[in-house]
Structure 1
Amino acid sequence: MSGTVRPTRLRALLHGPEDRRQRLLTQATIVNTVGMGMFMSVGTIFLIRFAGLDPAEVGVGLTVGSLAGLGAGVLIGDLADRRGAREVVIAALVLEAVGSAGLLLVHNLWSLIAVSAVAAVGSGGTSSARGAMIGVLAEAGKGARLRSYLRAVTNVGLAIGTLTAAVGLHIDTRPAYILLIVTDAVTFVLAAAILSRLPHLPPTRVKSTGSTGKERRWIAVRDRHYLSLTVAASVASLQYWVLIQALPVWIVLKTDAPHSMAALALFLGSVIVAALQVPATRSIDGPRSAARLVALSGPLFLIAWIMMAMSAGPSAWIAVVLLLLGVLVHSLAEVWQAGGSFELSFALARPEAQGQYQGVMGMGHSLVAAVAPAIVITLCIDGGTYGWIVLAVVVAVAGFACALIERNWGRSRHPVPGSPEMQT
């Protein structure tokens, strides 16, 4: 029986959703994420090697530029809710293309800040407006399935982009880096072109007024349950930076494993996540099951990171085994947390304002992303084994907080008869 199930799943993954509009969104997503995978691997190296900036300037420029774009996702997401998501997503993708190509013009700190700010505005806008688009295109009762599929193809795209970038890194010349950056910019344009084939998507939100007669526009920033979820989910997202930032440095500086394990761990993690994304989150059928997976991911991260910490000291082959096992467990935990958090970010949002809500969630993740490298490297590298454990506890507590927030949200929507909520 298993011999027939796996090919069927593979064909389903390659073919995509049956709905044409969902299929176009899927195609745009995988094209876009291939470019993202390239940029993640070569962008910083290009700036240091060929733009004349030192590492400190690159760090400051990218951080300040990202912060300059903070909040743009909320504004652009609200625009998508009120005007229709299709045109807004296309415009944001074109802005990202400009930001990506602009890297080739960077020659000092200020130009880097300007370019990264443009890219940050485009990225925040794409993320939030795309959230509004997903909300419109998801079939009734099947939103979790579409979101799970999009997460899977996202990881496939990132893996392809990472492998492509590895070729450029091996060649290690300025023309090779320029080609990768130009290709990244082109992927944004291609994704926009694919989405242009979609019909206009009607706005999901019309003016709503309260007792005062004034429009209640910024509903997402007044939703205490969603704001609490944003804080908890953003803190839990620190886990993303372990494989990207902490583990490669740990492998090179603290273990006897081959240095190539630093690249292999990131690639292996991307492949495992892409393979597990759909089957491992198949149980998600609503916010309660999503919250359960987020909570369960915490203990798995603790196990994974203890194994990674233990890789310092033993012989090379034992270190490699521990690292591989750690990456495997980490990847499963990541799938559970990412899938559950993604579902909660939609389930706890008001359907007519998905763009605005996704902008709020994106702003929280952007804030954490700005400080995450410093946090994970300080704890894991400087803190040693205890630092790994502390980080795992923080992420686990944040995951449990997400589950508690979902439970309180559910009670507020469906109060128990006789409870104070029902009486009021």
Structure 2
Amino acid sequence: MSSTPTPGWLRVLIAVLLVDMLGAGLYLPVSLLYFTKVADLPLSTVGWCLSFAQLATLPLPLLIGRLVDRVGARTVVLGGLVLQGVGFLGYLWVGSPGSLVVFALLAALGQRAYWSSIFTLIAELASGPERDRAYGIAGAAQNTGVGLGAVLAALLLAVGDESAYQVAVVVNAATFLLSALVLWRGLPKTKAAPAPKAQGLGVGPLRDKPFVALVGANTVFALCSGMLALGLPVFMADALAGPGWLVAVLLGANTAALALCQVWVVKRTEGRRRTRVLFVAAVLWTGWGVLMASTLGLPTVAVLPFLLLVTAPYTLAELLHAPTSNALAAAAAPAEQRGSYLATFQFSFALAGAIGPALFTQLFGWHPAAPWLVIAAASLLAGLAMIALERRLPALAVRTRAAEEELASA
């Protein structure tokens, strides 16, 4: 594949994603610790409060997708960034379950708006086979930002006091607001697609049974993708009794690999069926979950090298999943309802974010190995579902560019 100049709009989005995800990479490893150590809330209470906020905003992608189809994705992305910045900044004043729910709801609303529109914005600006490349570059930018944030998180975890956790919250809020400014100044308004005729909010995607099944399978993949950053800090502190800086090292190694290898992996998977690529990712996550559970039986001296080794299949699964799933969803969506379809697809990430904290904390409270084994089993089932969906999704959505060109010339 010949190299092509990066268009100006994509450079702006790279900057937005870098700044935005730097804050997320810094905040996520200390998120549960912030509320338990600084706000002095019980771990199970934190898990349920965060999950409640996510669940309460679950229906919103269906509404947001319709809004994107009417006003364009850029406006909705901007609003989502600002809402997240304000919501996360409010965490500085959390001192009770009620205040946590209020600000978590505001942040969750912003997350719904942002993640239900950002990939539609890319689809509005990139056409045809260039979308796979654009999604790959966007993913690399996201992971670079997360990696830089993880480096900062390592320093804060090494300090380990309340002020360090508060710094993570402030920086995370500031990055959302800065990202909004960069997008507002650097990216011109895009034209909204014509609104579909006489359809209820989100009805088109919900009637598309193969697409709904794709959303269901991707919910499991999204759970897998978020479980390392969500669960590893608590797993390390409470089950393995390891040092906090080790978490940041592992997350940093993971995100560095994602940033450096994402575009290369997209190129290597050209010509493969997207459903098969996602099946391979599912198998890798299954193996990772089983290996994570087996960490409990290791001597302390072996934990670091073993976890570094175990993180490799997890990272490869993420590299395969992120651009492939988004490109599959975009290609399966009718052009006139792309906003609704892609917002519905982002519902899978919303649902994963909603149930993830409660799922992990409850399973971990039962047994430290339980979250990893449950994730392993669910991932395998989701992978098998992708194989079953292969014949039901549009043929040209399943195939990547090279396969499409081969079919056209046959």
The equivalent of 2:193 in structure 1 is 204
CA distance in 1: counterparts of 2:108 and 2:126, whole angstroms: 27
Identity of aligned residues (%): 28
What is aligned with 2:407? none
TM-score, normalised to structure 1, is 0.83
User: Could you tell me which residue of structure 2 aligns to residue 345 of structure 1?
Assistant: 329
CA RMSD of aligned residues (A): 3.0
Q: Which deviations, in whole Å up to 9, do the C-alpha atoms of 1:4-24 show, x marking residues without a partner?
A: xxxxx9xx9xxx962111111
Give the CA deviation at 1:285.
4.3
**Is residue 2:39 matched to residue 1:51?**
yes
With structure 2 as the length reference, what TM-score do the two structures score? Answer: 0.85
The code of the aligned residue for 1:356 comes to: S
Residue aligning to 2:149: 161
Residue 91 of structure 1: how far off its partner (Å): 1.6
Distance 1:168 1:246, change over 3 A: closer
Alignment of 1:145 with 2:129, yes or no, is: no
The one of 58, 76, 83 aligned to 2:71: 83
Structure 2 spans left out of the alignment, 5+ residues = 399-410
Q: Are 2:24 and 1:36 aligned?
A: yes
Q: Deviations over 1:303-334 (max 9, x none)?
A: 33444344443444444433222111221122
Q: Which moved more, 1:192-201 or 1:304-313?
A: 304-313
Q: Which amino acid aligns with 1:199?
A: P
Alignment of 1:315-330 (within 5 A): 315-330=299-314
C-alpha displacement at 1:253, in angstroms? 5.6
Q: Deviations over 1:133-158 (max 9, x none)?
A: 11111133210000011111111111
1:204-223 equivalences under 5 Å are 204-208=193-197, 214-215=198-199, 218=202, 219-223=204-208
Aligned position for 1:103? 91
Among 51, 54, 59, the residue aligned to 1:63 = 51
For the pair 1:289 / 2:277, whether they are aligned, the reply is: no
Letter in 2 for 1:275: L
Farther-moved stretch of structure 1 (320-329 vs 238-247): 238-247
CA distance change for structure 1 residues 333 and 228 in 2, over 3 Å: closer, same or farther? same
C-alpha displacement of 1:340: 2.3
Equivalent residue for 1:398?
A: 382
* Structure 1 residues 363-385: Cα deviation after superposition (integer angstroms, max 9, x where no partner): 23222332234545666885677
- Among 209, 227, 231, which residue is 1:224 paired with? 209
Partner Cα separation in structure 1 for residue 142 and residue 111 of structure 2: 15
**Partners in 1 of 2:72 and 2:321 — Cα distance?**
30
What is the letter of the counterpart of residue 260 of structure 2? A
Contact 2:62-2:201 within 8 A present in 1 as well: no
Q: Do 2:194 and 2:336's aligned partners in 1 also have CA atoms closer than 8 Å?
A: yes
Match for residue 287 of structure 2 among 289, 293, 303? 303
1:58/1:259 CA distance change after superposition, 3 Å: closer
Helix, strand or coil: the match of 1:281?
helix
Structure 1: gaps spanning 5 or more residues: 1-8, 209-213, 415-424
Which whole-Å deviations, capped at 9, do the CAs of 1:267-321 have from their partners, x for residues lacking one? Answer: 22222222222212224448x6221111112332333344434444344444443
| Larger Rg, first or second structure (1 or 2) | 1
